[in-house]
């Protein structure tokens, strides 16, 4: 392989890994929700869209640097998720499995159409000086917003791990995921825990939206694509498997990047989908999951 081709390969992989980090962040939120509640959140990408539009609105109103919006978007996302779990999903009771799918589908439609009414259908972006800047690392060019997104993802996932494995709340969350009834009997307020978990998942999606805003155009249905990405990531990693979601995200980013560069950019979204279908068919427990009972 001549040096130019080698550099191109490294460049492609590096870009894929950074994009994959963002996918990992989105997928982690979805996987966390599924892991604790067995709920597949069909509105996940729409929560990401909310994060994007909060960033856009704050920038328009106060000229706030997009990354500072995370201080607003994350709490708003958390509160939104908390309330949705409490007011809607908790009421489904024993119809949760089927009902949550429909309820989150409905929520997604409500969110995307409300955004459409508020902000219009026109794709909008933020003009900040660093949006198009790149850094040179040994012949490989990397965009600054992608690097910031990568760091943000690491921080968010690191924070989640600390929360889950080093705090009392984390113990309660893990207990609820493993055995809700048992946890309840040990004095864990599982209803509150589930609301917190849904809030966290939505906050993760919103944070991802903030990190994406300097890179992308925001439009009301932007979330649809990311809901699919989140599904792909979680299935690749194994539904409800958090480290799996991180690896799944990186794998998806790399597959897309390599496919787009070496095969055809038109089918960028298809490579992940095909990988998703293959994993779904051959290893429903995910690439890295323990073997679950096969049907």
Partner 1 sequence: MTATTTAPAARPRALTFGNMWLSAALIAVIVLYPMFFGKAMNFGVSTLIFAGLAMSWNILGGWAGQTSLGHAALLGIGAYTMTLLAIPERVPAIFGGPVAPWWGALIAMVLAALIAAVWGGLTFRLRGSYFTLSSIAVALVIRLIAINSEWTGGSEGLFMPDLPRFLGLDLFDRKAEYILAAAFVVLTLGITHAIRRSRLGYALQAVREDEDGARALGIDPTRMKVIAFMISAALTALGGALYGIYLQAFEPHTLLELPISVQIALMAIIGGRGTIQGPAIGAILLAVFGEIFRNVFANANLLIYGVLILVVTLFAPNGVMGLFQRGGRKLGTAR
- Residues that contact partner 1, how many (by CB under 8 A): 52
Which of residues 8, 142, 148, 191 is near partner 1 by CB under 8 A?
A: 191
Q: Is 2 in the site for partner 1 (CB under 8 A)?
A: no
Q: How far apart are CA 46 and CA 258, in angstroms?
A: 27
In angstroms, rounded to a whole number, what is the distance separating the alpha carbons of residues 95 and 101? 10
- Is residue 273 involved in binding partner 1 (CB under 8 A)? yes
Select 213 or 236, whichever has its Cβ closest to partner 1: 236
Please tell me the total number of residues recorded for the chain in this structure.
295
Give me the least distance between CB of 195 and partner 1, in Å please. 12
- Cα gap 39→186, rounded to integer Å: 23
Stretch that binds partner 1, among 163-171, 195-203, 210-218, 280-288 (CB under 8 A): 280-288
Tell me whether residue 52 or residue 149 sits nearer to partner 1 (CB atom): 52
Taking CB under 8 A as the criterion, the residue among 32, 107, 172, 195 binding partner 1 is 107
**Least Å distance between CB 53 and partner 1?**
14
Contacts of 163 (CB under 8 A, 6+ apart): 169, 170, 173
Site for partner 1 contains 276 (CB under 8 A): yes
Verify binding: residue 116, partner 1, rule CB under 8 A.
yes
Instruction: Work out which of 72, 169, 258, 284 binds partner 1, going by CB under 8 A.
Output: 284
Q: Whole-number minimum distance, CB 132 to partner 1, in Å?
A: 27
The yes or no reply on residue 267 touching partner 1 (CB under 8 A) is yes
Radius of gyration for the chain, computed over Cα atoms and rounded to the nearest angstrom: 19
Kindly tell me which of 17 and 239 has the beta carbon lying closer to partner 1: 239
Taking CB under 8 A as the binding criterion, the range among 5-13, 128-136, 190-198, 252-260 that sits at the site for partner 1 is: 190-198
Query: Which position has the token pair 């870009």?
Result: 15
Binding partner 1 (rule: CB under 8 A), the pick from 6, 71, 110, 185 is 110
Q: What is the DSSP string of 158-204?
A: HHHHHHHHHSHHHHHHHHHHH-HHHHHHTT--HHHHHHHHHHHHHHH
Segment holding 142, helix H or strand E: strand 140-143
Residue 255 CB partners (closer than 8 Å, separation 6+) = 16, 271, 272, 275
Secondary structure letter of residue 69 according to DSSP: G
Q: Is 83 in the site for partner 1 (CB under 8 A)?
A: no
Nearest approach, Cβ of residue 289 and partner 1 (Å): 13
How many CB atoms neighbour CB 119 within 10 A?
18
- Interface pattern 211-250 for partner 1 (x via CB under 8 A): -------------x---x--xx--x---------------
C-alpha pair distances (Å), 269 with each of 49, 91, 111 = 19, 36, 24
Q: How far is the CB of 110 from partner 1 (least distance, A)?
A: 4
Which residues are CB-contacts of 20 (< 8 A; sequence separation ≥ 6)? Answer: 249, 250, 251, 252, 253, 254
- Return residues touching partner 1 (CB under 8 A): 40, 88, 91-99, 101-103, 105-114, 116-117, 121, 176, 180-181, 184, 190-191, 194, 224, 228, 231-232, 235, 264, 266-267, 269-270, 273-274, 276-277, 280-281, 284, 295
């Amino acid at each position: 392989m001549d040096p130019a081709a080698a550099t191109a390969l490294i460049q492609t992989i590096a870009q894929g890994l950074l994009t994959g980090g963002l996918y990992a962040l989105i997928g982690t939120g979805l996987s966390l929700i599924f892991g604790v509640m067995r709920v597949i959140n069909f509105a996940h990408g729409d929560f990401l869209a909310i994060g994007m539009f909060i960033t856009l609105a704050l920038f328009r109103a106060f000229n706030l640097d997009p990354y500072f919006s995370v201080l607003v978007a994350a709490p708003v996302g958390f509160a939104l998720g908390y309330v949705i779990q409490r007011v809607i999903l908790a009421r489904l009771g024993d119809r949760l499995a089927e009902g949550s799918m429909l309820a989150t589908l409905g929520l997604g439609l409500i969110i995307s159409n409300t955004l459409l009414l508020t902000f219009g259908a026109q794709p909008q972006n933020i003009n900040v000086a660093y949006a198009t800047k790149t850094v040179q690392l040994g012949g490989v060019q990397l965009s600054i917003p992608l690097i910031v997104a990568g760091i943000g993802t690491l921080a968010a996932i690191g924070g989640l791990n600390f929360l889950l494995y080093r705090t009392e709340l984390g113990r309660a969350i893990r207990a609820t995921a493993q055995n809700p009834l048992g946890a309840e009997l040990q004095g864990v307020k599982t209803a509150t825990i589930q609301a917190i978990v849904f809030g966290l998942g939505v906050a993760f999606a919103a944070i991802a939206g903030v990190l994406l805003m300097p890179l992308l155009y925001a439009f009301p249905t932007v979330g649809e694509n990311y809901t699919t990405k989140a599904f792909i990531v979680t299935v690749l990693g194994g539904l409800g498997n958090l480290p799996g979601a991180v690896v799944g995200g990186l794998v998806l980013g790399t597959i897309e990047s390599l496919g787009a560069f070496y095969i055809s950019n038109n089918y960028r979204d298809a490579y992940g989908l095909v990988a998703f279908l293959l994993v779904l068919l051959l290893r429903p427990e995910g690439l890295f999951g323990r073997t679950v009972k096969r049907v």
